[in-house]
A and B are shown apart, each in its own frame.
Chain A
């Protein structure tokens, strides 16, 4: 079973995932999690390019993250699914696609590039406004490197708040557009409410059938 959690920075993905992992483990399921930009072979190169100001090009930015995702897909996600584990992905193809789109890449290009990805059994979008995200977190220069057609930002100090807010807003709207048929949950709800809502959906979608 593949469960995907998507949403902008600070929307509550990690909190939800931690609760889900615990609950599924109590239910006797083996759970594997995988996070965006985390594959051993690739993410140090992404870090290096970013640090040295070499990730300015939207295509290059996109390709590097696609590389990282493709290796996690083949080496972590598929093998875990094949052995019957639950995989929970902290960000999945929507993140890659949305981040390509906000940087001005053609829609057909970014969608086709991620087409190989396994279809999730459940995609959850935690929807949060840019204002709320900014209240909860500090802007992360490294996650917003080269916003749209703007300038690269060397650090959080040089990142313009308004520009960052508009980046979050545009991203949020794109996520909503892609997640239209998925489970969209208001990120302002309490953590418990969010988990409860996810469980209702899993029962409804019979993702729990083999447990009962």
Chain B
């Protein structure tokens, strides 16, 4: 049996991933499970390069795809794998489905993206927080009115304004996620519910998996 538990959270912008990851972190802490958190595009060496490439608009679809996979590979071998080896719980705020949805939107063939991430262990469970794009867009704009070039998918539709481009991007990512539902075996969570109810839904599926992880002390 594989060591540790790998739990991934997926969903479009502002669907509630961070809130739920915080809840689950608290739960794991309270129940004395050892755990590690890792977020998309956060490696200390590669993430600044991604920032630079965004700022200087250097990305084309293929470099976008490869540099994000490189960030992931760093985190995978430096954070995720060592934590799993110690039988920890790993909470991943986004995992390879994020790359599948975003890179294919930019025209990279799905096979190509799958190959780039082929070294990565399949998560024990992937929660997909299903919030319809209209709701997530509204929530995102209310929370952070500023939109950015790449995170609005404006590189794909340079003739659109940032906001129409963002809406198109989120809608497309959402349909890409729906298409991955079976392939990635998503645990589909209704994210239109109150945060507490979402948390209960997640916990219901999570608790049986936790038995093989080590507790603190």
The DSSP consensus for interface residues of chain B is: helix
Q: Across the interface, do B45 and A67 meet the contact criterion of CB distance under 8 Å? A: no
Residues on A with beta carbons closer than 8 Å to the beta carbon of B66: 63, 66-67, 70, 113
Q: Across the interface, do B58 and A41 meet the contact criterion of CB distance under 8 Å? A: yes
Q: Across the interface, do A112 and B73 meet the contact criterion of CB distance under 8 Å? A: no
Residues A75 and B67 in contact in the complex (CB < 8 Å), given A45-B46, A108-B115, A109-B118:
no
By beta carbon, the residue of chain A nearest B52 is A41
For window 87-140 of chain A, which residues contact chain B by CB distance below 8 Å? 106, 108-109, 112-113, 115-116
A interface residues, tally (CB under 8 Å): 25
Q: Across the interface, do A63 and B70 meet the contact criterion of CB distance under 8 Å? A: yes
Q: Nearest chain A CB to B84's CB is how many angstroms away?
A: 15
What's the count of A-B pairs with C-beta under 8 Å?
57
Q: Across the interface, do A67 and B58 meet the contact criterion of CB distance under 8 Å? A: no
B interface residues, tally (CB under 8 Å): 23
By beta carbon, the residue of chain A nearest B65 is A70
Q: Nearest chain B CB to A40's CB is how many angstroms away?
A: 10
User: B140: CB under 8 A from chain A?
Assistant: no
- The CA of A60 and the CA of B62, in the complex, are separated in Å by 18
User: A42: CB under 8 A from chain B?
Assistant: yes
Q: Nearest chain A CB to B49's CB is how many angstroms away?
A: 6
Q: Mark B49-74, 1 if CB is under 8 A from A, else 0.
A: 10011000010101100110110011
User: A184: CB under 8 A from chain B?
Assistant: no
Which of B49, B73, B77 touches A42 (beta carbons < 8 Å)?
Answer: B49
User: B111: CB under 8 A from chain A?
Assistant: yes
Q: Across the interface, do A57 and B77 meet the contact criterion of CB distance under 8 Å? A: yes
Q: Nearest chain B CB to A142's CB is how many angstroms away?
A: 17
Q: Across the interface, do A45 and B63 meet the contact criterion of CB distance under 8 Å? A: no
User: A149: CB under 8 A from chain B?
Assistant: no
- The CA of A75 and the CA of B118, in the complex, are separated in Å by 27
Q: Mark B102-120, 1 if CB is under 8 A from A, else 0.
A: 0000000001100110110
By beta carbon, the residue of chain B nearest A108 is B115
Q: List 22 A-B contacts (CB under 8 A).
A: A45-B45, A45-B49, A54-B45, A57-B77, A59-B77, A59-B119, A60-B74, A63-B73, A66-B66, A70-B62, A70-B63, A70-B66, A71-B63, A73-B62, A74-B62, A106-B118, A109-B118, A112-B115, A113-B66, A113-B116, A116-B62, A116-B112
Interface, chain B (partner A; CB < 8 A): 45-46, 49, 52-53, 58, 60, 62-63, 66-67, 69-70, 73-74, 77-78, 111-112, 115-116, 118-119
Please name 13 further chain A to chain B contacts, defined as beta carbons within 8 Å, in addition to the given A59-B77, A67-B63, A113-B115, sorted by A numbering: A41-B58, A57-B73, A57-B77, A60-B70, A60-B73, A63-B69, A63-B73, A64-B70, A67-B70, A70-B67, A71-B58, A74-B62, A112-B112
